Chain A
């Protein structure tokens, strides 16, 4: 056998090329995990994937009542409030779902990971895929409500050419959820405290992102304004809203900084994840 030795030892160097090569050779597994998630989610339910639509619709109704009618927070004049909430929620749900699930990667899969080796990154990536599937259904729902607003309710059609950047925004959102999730999942293998923190942290993050309100309702240069700008989700979600309404924050420089921050978080995430995956079985 002229093949070279595969070496397993402590402290193998971090090699992103090898990680990617392993992932590609296990692409079938990613697809199968994705199918498993989709198929098993709606086993023995009568409404099935319809639940994906019911959930954001009800949340949007609650938002309309609480934020719109009671708190009287303005939304966006170029779009119906209901469509506004749906748009924000579809992006938020995608991010939050993926982040929560990826954070639990090690804890949830301990029994499988303890028995057989495969690149552990396949699991979080398949989570992104199934998240994307759910997102696209919710996004189509938004489009229907949006077009209803334009053609029936008489809102003006304000789609602009930044719409072509939409896939890029979704990729940024995915990578952010992935990077953050990988870090949390790696840290929770030994210290479970973080699980508690993440539970309500995600809820808080939603209020620190322009989901239920437009960014420009925040007083300029207030503390909350700065917090919001520091949150990479703000720039991305506002830019998505801008693409459909020509109203909102669209700033190339903010987006570039967001992309840079997300990139750093992702690289750090993959780094700690690949460290932890080799010995988490001893502590999980």
Chain B
């Protein structure tokens, strides 16, 4: 296997704020430094990209990428994962040559095409046919190549009847179908794909995913960015995890996904709730303290296999609110919601008085060993959410039971949940 993409110390710096007079003075300073044969003075400053801290440091420069290095072999399908703002899009922009790195370099072999968006350059007044040719050429195809594949593209899109109608008359679904169809028939050695699969209806999404699998199966090198862990898992064998502009993990896809989810900030199990976890809030209800207890009522996030757990929450209500219910979700390390429970399954809506209340949830633990996250929420019966905490608790189910006699004999796990089962075997 030969290396076809090489990133060598790629960094990218952006300036915060708007473009104005200060840019002119910066440019003049740069020019003076250059004329005197010195290094660009602004490359020495700048700080890591952290969008949450508004007043952290006073530098107006941030590094969207800092010293990124990786190599990708021919034929590999590699996922790029990371939180918003981790530098994924900046990396893709550099890989697809839309912008150049501030320092470092990217090397690649062969024909490289990128798909950061479907339907780039579609002109609303032109017919579907004209746009297929235009979009194909923008993506780097030759005219005769498009002509050869034209029927296939139209067939794939399923909008044959409208192909001579201006695309502005298309429904949005038809539009993306046609746009993706063109993109799917690209034929490069290296393909860079952003989250473009999330288009169209379920049936079409599946078609796209299968098409992507085909493309990946033809020995092509694919770099794929997505927040959808399921499609990353379905397509990629390897993945790169990014955080704050650097690569924090590189390896097989399952490990990478666990690393990514493990690297998400999780609240301590003793109760502090950071603002980052609070994804929805209406300023009426606040979870103040949450923790997990195992059967021995000791708090802590490591839990014996088969040991039941209890989640305790103190919730403050700033007003009297009627018809409230609570829910909890358990999410696997690879991002799948495994369990969901609401108090209204075994009770009814609750009228809560102003003040702090205690809500505890006992859970029969049949989870397979591994890392899980818990989301907690308080909702109103009209469907609105009052307070919602994402990944607020992290639990680690050990692969041993408390009294190891009845523990796991086999050191492997499949699936996420081990229900009580009864095997009836007749010989």
Contact = CB atoms under 8 A, between A and B. Distances in A.
A36 B116 contact: no
Interface in A10-43: 10, 12, 26, 28-29, 31-33, 35-36, 39-40, 43
Contacts of B114: 115-117
B140 interface: yes
A145 interface: no
Interface in B63-112: 74, 93-94, 96-110, 112
B61 to A, nearest CB: 12
A114 interface: yes
A29 B138 contact: yes
B138 A278 contact: no
B105 A7 contact: yes
Which of A5, A43, A114, A116 lies at the interface centre, i.e. has the most chain B CB atoms within 10 A of its CB? A116
Given A7-B107, A8-B105, A116 B139 contact: yes
B143 interface: yes
Given A116-B138, A118-B138, A36 B98 contact: no
Interface string B100-132: 111111111110101011001101011000100
A9 B104 contact: yes
A112 interface: yes
A276 to B, nearest CB: 11
A190 B19 contact: yes
A31 B94 CA distance: 27
Given A1-B4, A28-B143, A282-B14, A117 B100 contact: no
A6 interface: yes
A113 B117 CA distance: 12
A40 B98 contact: no
Contact of B123 (A12, A28, A36, A111): A36
Contacts of A283: 19, 23
A1 to B, nearest CB: 5
Closest 5 CB pairs of A and B: A9-B105, A117-B97, A28-B143, A29-B137, A43-B125
B25 interface: no
Interface in A255-284: 278-279, 281-283
B19 A279 contact: no
Contacts of A3: 109-110
A114 B121 CA distance: 11
B51 interface: no
B184 to A, nearest CB: 15
A117 B107 contact: no
B166 interface: yes
A3 B104 CA distance: 21
Interface in B178-225: none
Interface of A: 1, 3-10, 12, 26, 28-29, 31-33, 35-36, 39-40, 43-44, 111-118, 190-191, 278-279, 281-283
B388 interface: no
Contact of A32 (B23, B108, B134): B134
Contacts of B106: 7-9
Contacts of B98: 113-117, 281
B19 A9 contact: no
A8 B125 contact: no
A126 B112 CA distance: 24
Contact of B100 (A6, A33, A44, A279): A279
Contacts of A113: 98
Nearest to B9: A9
Contacts of B116: 115-116
Contacts of B286: none
Given A9-B105, A40-B126, A278 B120 contact: no
Contacts of B123: 36, 40
12 contacts: A1-B110, A3-B110, A5-B108, A7-B107, A9-B101, A9-B105, A29-B137, A40-B126, A112-B121, A112-B138, A278-B99, A283-B19
B107 A36 contact: no
A51 to B, nearest CB: 16
A1 B101 contact: no
Nearest to B116: A115
B133 A32 contact: yes
Nearest to A116: B120
Nearest to B11: A10
A41 to B, nearest CB: 9
A5 B3 CA distance: 10
A144 to B, nearest CB: 30
B126 A116 contact: no
Nearest to A118: B138
Nearest to A4: B109
B137 A28 contact: yes
A68 to B, nearest CB: 39
B93 A281 contact: yes
Contacts of B166: 43
B100 A1 contact: no
Given A3-B110, A39-B126, A282-B99, A190 B105 contact: no
Contacts of B103: 10
A278 B94 CA distance: 10
B351 to A, nearest CB: 51
Contacts of B93: 114, 281
